[in-house]
């Protein structure tokens, strides 16, 4: 089988496994309960439920040290079965009894085999017929949607999936670390390298264990799955926010198909990384807040309407209610005779014809829970808690973005949020969601697990303790930015703002030199100061935007970017005026959210604490930006065509708008092509690893290579670092044997070493005897495999392998060789493994 076909099958299997858990299974359980919701809302609900369950199930089992395939599978199937039985009021015992009775009848011959087969055939036929009918009915009703989503899916697969078929290795240097953490979940060691958000790792581990997909395969191909999912989440969110049917596609299509945004905004999508996985939950959390404010208001209005109706009805007459107090509990009952008399005398029908036998004044917990969960707002707040919590479980940066967007919502829905009955609930939900997300981490911390390095660093950055270190850690970015902005460095607001604090207002004055050499200091007025600051802020943002988000080559889209924030604000004003309050609030929320994101994006230039570096912020920025563009288009269309009673007019116009964008993109030559993102591993290395796993029993082999294969094959075999091996040959080999005690040892040698983070000077490097004669690099960590060091290591290993193959011509085989890679396989007798420390030929 070719690697390309294998990769496609792996993608399909990963996607199918993930969809089973985040779509099929939740849909099976929840569909009937939420079928009144729109599909986009149901999709979000399924996604949240599935992911939340996987993350927390793994976390709990890991903390209990009982996580394995059996427990995970059982605790997936049993609760689901339980929920199904409870939600749909099934009677499992009766069903089982029926089944056994039927089997008994079948075994006893009361039901013949032919009849049984006939029933099975008819049952399957009916099921198929119903399924096909339902499918075609849905396709018929949503034909254009299905076509558009299919195009979108194909586009995402093409743009982000092609690279998977060209580069089989990890494209990001931190993936081996994530692989390591996931591997150790298999040993029931969560937080093996310290406390870190493990939501992503839990999901990967769950899929690995339950669906038997090797972790390294998931980390190679899951990026396409998560890309699809967060694009779908974006579409679902836009679909919820917009009133027209096809305007949501506008933003998403621009995002996927047009070559408008800077490379930084999508470069990480080629790797399976936690931050990008967490993007699935950002917009759903915002959706839940929107829905909460909107539906709660609707339910309040409905309740008010009912109350108004109730007021017209007579309540139970006071004289018919009997109260008896027993041991502090007041029992009430109705005196039916008195009630009858009162009722007959009453002019109208009573609302509550209750025959209360016994009623406690203190409402039981169950009733309270029922009342609480029965309210419209509860499930939206729960959804918010779950999705917001999952952003934290996946990656802190996702939470930051979700938090900033929540600030936007606070602006947009300020007229409701700051009412006591909203504010308290929202705040409490936020706290609970964070608590749920960090609970596993808290437990681990309480048990003595330290914070993982990057987490500690993040905390320091947020608290400001690590500001200097952080600035030093990103000198290149600062230099680049400084270079870009050097043209207007003098007098720029950036300078003013950054130095403002120290100059105690000095910079807010303008100094003018007179002809006689004297200086006149002009004191700025307040409006001037404000305008100046605003101008500086806008300039700072513009500079950053043109570097990271939309390059200067696409000025029209740069204008769209800024314009969309303004336009949304204006639209919200108009819609407030025309009493489309929720729509207006959504527009304003997104507009304010975008402003907040803009400030974050330009925080370094604005002299604010840099919570997130620009290269990462821009990813989220664009992600939310395209949603705002969809809303802008929708807002404009709503304003112009929304007044027609016929909804199809608005929908048609939105489809035309989408088509116009597509045509424009094509005509302007903006269509995206797949980007070639080289991996940090050779394709040949992955091919060899895959074959080694296929050919050998577990733990009968060792791979001696540079770094990445260590974690990829950790669960199946052994790994030896090239550097350690060479060091052993040089030092230990002088006096001792150097052995690797497995029956097969594979040596991965890059003839043209991979560029691992550091570029080589000059042309494409190639291993040679000259580099092999260089001393073995001294240092630690990944630096051994970067730049010239990698070249030396590979050259030395190649030279050694040549010498060794000469000594043992029949025991050293070339397992695979290409122009830039060679894998040697040494087969040895474990009763006397080879001493790899061979003497020099000389």
> Using CB under 8 A as the criterion, which residues of the chain lie in contact with another protein when the complex forms?
1-6, 683, 687, 690-691, 694-695, 733, 737, 739, 741, 806-811, 813, 815-816, 827, 829-839
Task: Determine contact, residues 682/169, Cβ cutoff 8 Å.
Answer: yes
Least distance (Å) from another protein to the CB of residue 203? 27
Instruction: Tell the smallest beta-carbon distance from residue 214 to another protein (Å).
Output: 13
Judged by beta carbon, residue 282 or residue 703, the one nearer another protein is: 703
CA-to-CA separations, 66 to 186, 188, 365, 441, in angstroms, rounded: 10, 7, 32, 18
Dihedral sign of CA atoms 59, 63, 64, 66 in order = positive
552 vs 840, beta carbon nearer another protein: 840
CB of 686 to another protein, least distance (A): 9
CB nearer to another protein: give 89 or 697.
697
List Cα–Cα distances, 196 to 206, 507, 696, in angstroms: 17, 43, 35
Pull the structure tokens for residue 684. Answer: 């040949």
* Look-up of token digits 């991996």: 679
Q: What is the C-alpha separation between 378 and 390, in angstroms, rounded?
A: 18
List of residues 6+ apart from 452 with CB closer than 8 A: 191, 193, 194, 195, 196
Q: Are 178 and 192 in contact (CB under 8 A)?
A: no
Nearer Cβ to another protein (311/695): 695
Task: Identify the residue whose tokens are 């060899």.
Answer: 688
User: In whole angstroms, what is the distance from residue 268 CA to residue 750 CA?
Assistant: 25
Quote the least distance from Cβ 712 to another protein, whole Å: 15
Shortest distance (Å) from residue 807 CB to another protein: 5
CB of 800 to another protein, least distance (A): 12
Closest CA to 270 of 231, 234, 204, 221: 221
- Closest approach, Cβ 831 to another protein, in A, equals 6
Distance CA 456, CA 196 (A): 9
d(C-alpha 610, C-alpha 600), whole Å: 7
Handedness of CA 765, 767, 773, 774 (dihedral sign): positive
Shorter beta-carbon distance to another protein: residue 2 or 307: 2
Alpha-carbon gap, residue 758 to 680, rounded angstroms: 11
In the complex with another protein, the residue whose CB is nearer, 623 or 800, is 800
Q: Which is nearer to another protein, 257 or 815 (CB)?
A: 815
| Distance in Å, CB of 829 to another protein, minimum | 5
How many angstroms separate the Cα of 536 from the Cα of each of 170, 527, 561? 41, 14, 18
Between 478 and 691, name the residue whose CB sits nearer to another protein.
691
Cβ atoms of residues 635 and 568 within 8 Å: yes
Min dist CB 185 to another protein, Å, is 27
Straight-line distance from the first to the last Cα atom of the chain, in angstroms, rounded to the nearest whole number: 44
Shortest Cβ distance from residue 808 to another protein (Å)? 6
């Amino acid at each position: 089988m070719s690697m390309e076909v294998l990769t496609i099958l792996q993608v399909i299997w990963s996607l199918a496994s993930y969809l089973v858990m985040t779509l099929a299974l939740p849909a099976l359980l929840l569909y009937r309960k939420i079928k009144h919701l729109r599909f986009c809302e149901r999709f979000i609900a399924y996604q949240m439920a599935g992911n939340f369950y996987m993350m927390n199930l793994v976390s709990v089992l890991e903390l209990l040290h009982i996580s394995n395939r059996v427990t995970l599978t059982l605790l997936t199937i049993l609760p689901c079965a339980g929920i199904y039985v409870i939600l749909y009021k099934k009677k499992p015992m009766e069903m089982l009894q029926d089944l056994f009775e039927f089997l008994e009848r079948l075994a006893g011959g009361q039901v013949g085999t032919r009849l049984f087969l006939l029933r099975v055939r008819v049952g399957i036929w009916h099921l198929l017929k119903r399924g096909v009918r339902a499918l075609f009915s849905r396709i018929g009703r949503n034909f254009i949607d299905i076509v558009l989503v299919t195009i979108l899916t194909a586009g995402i697969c093409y743009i982000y999936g092609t690279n998977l078929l060209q580069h089989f290795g990890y494209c990001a240097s931190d993936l081996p670390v994530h692989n390591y953490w996931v591997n150790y979940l298999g040993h029931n060691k969560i937080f093996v390298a310290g406390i870190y958000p493990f939501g992503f790792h839990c999901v990967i581990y769950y899929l690995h264990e339950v669906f038997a997909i090797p972790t390294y395969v998931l980390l190679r191909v899951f990026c396409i799955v998560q890309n699809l999912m967060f694009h779908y989440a974006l579409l679902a969110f836009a679909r919820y926010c917009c009133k027209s049917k096809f305007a949501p596609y506008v933003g998403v299509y621009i995002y996927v198909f047009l070559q408008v945004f800077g490379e930084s905004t999508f470069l990480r999508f080629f790797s399976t990384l936690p931050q990008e996985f967490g993007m699935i939950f950002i917009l759903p959390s915002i959706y839940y807040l929107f829905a909460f404010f909107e539906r709660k208001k609707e339910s309040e209005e409905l309740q008010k309407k009912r109350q108004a109706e109730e007021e017209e009805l007579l309540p139970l007459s006071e004289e018919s209610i009997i109260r008896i107090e027993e041991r502090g509990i007041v029992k009430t009952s109705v005196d039916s005779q008195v009630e009858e008399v009162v009722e007959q005398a009453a002019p109208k029908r009573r609302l509550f014809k209750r025959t209360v036998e016994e009623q406690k004044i203190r409402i039981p917990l169950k009733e309270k829970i029922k009342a609480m969960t029965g309210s419209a707002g509860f499930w939206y707040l729960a959804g918010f808690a779950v999705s917001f919590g999952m952003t934290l479980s996946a990656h802190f940066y996702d939470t930051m973005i979700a938090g900033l967007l929540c600030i936007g919502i606070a602006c947009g829905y300020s007229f409701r949020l700051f009412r006591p009955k909203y504010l308290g609930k929202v705040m409490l939900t936020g706290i609970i969601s964070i608590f749920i997300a960090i609970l596993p981490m808290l437990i681990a911390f309480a048990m003595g697990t330290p914070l993982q390095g990057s987490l500690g660093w993040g905390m320091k950055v947020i608290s400001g303790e690590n500001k200097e270190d952080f600035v030093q850690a990103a000198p290149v970015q600062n230099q680049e930015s400084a270079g870009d902005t050097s043209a207007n460095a003098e007098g720029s607001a950036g300078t003013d703002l950054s130095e403002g604090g120290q100059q105690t207002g000095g910079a807010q004055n303008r100094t003018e030199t007179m002809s006689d050499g004297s200086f006149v200091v002009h004191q700025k007025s307040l409006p001037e100061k404000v305008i100046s600051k605003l101008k500086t802020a806008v300039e700072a943002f513009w500079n950053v935007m043109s570097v990271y988000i939309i390059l200067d080559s696409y000025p029209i889209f740069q204008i769209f970017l800024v314009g969309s924030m303004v336009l949304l604000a204006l639209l919200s004003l108009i819609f407030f005026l025309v009493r489309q309050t929720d729509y207006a609030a959504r527009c304003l929320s997104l507009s304010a959210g975008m402003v907040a994101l803009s400030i974050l994006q330009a925080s370094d230039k604005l002299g604010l604490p840099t919570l997130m570096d620009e290269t990462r912020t821009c990813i989220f920025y664009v992600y939310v930006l395209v949603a705002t563009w969809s809303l802008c288009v929708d807002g404009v269309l709503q304003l112009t065509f929304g007044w027609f009673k016929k909804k199809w007019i608005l929908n048609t116009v939105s489809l035309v708008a989408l088509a116009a964008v597509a045509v424009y993109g094509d005509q302007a030559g903006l269509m995206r092509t797949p980007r070639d993102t080289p991996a940090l591993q050779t394709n040949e290395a992955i091919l060899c690893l895959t074959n080694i796993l296929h050919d050998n029993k577990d733990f009968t082999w060792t791979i001696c290579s540079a770094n990445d294969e260590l974690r990829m094959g950790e669960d199946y075999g052994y790994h030896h670092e090239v550097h350690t091996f060479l060091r052993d040959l040089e030092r230990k080999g002088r006096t001792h044997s150097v052995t690797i005690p497995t029956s097969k040892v594979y040596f991965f040698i890059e003839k043209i070493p991979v560029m691992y983070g550091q570029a080589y000077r000059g042309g494409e490097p190639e291993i040679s005897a000259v580099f092999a004669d260089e001393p073995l690099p001294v240092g630690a960590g990944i630096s051994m495999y970067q730049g010239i060091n990698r070249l030396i290591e590979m050259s030395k290993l190649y030279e050694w392998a040549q010498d060794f193959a000469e000594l043992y011509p029949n025991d050293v085989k070339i397992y695979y060789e290409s122009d830039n890679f060679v894998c040697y396989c040494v087969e040895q007798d474990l009763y006397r493994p080879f001493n790899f420390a061979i003497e020099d030929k000389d």
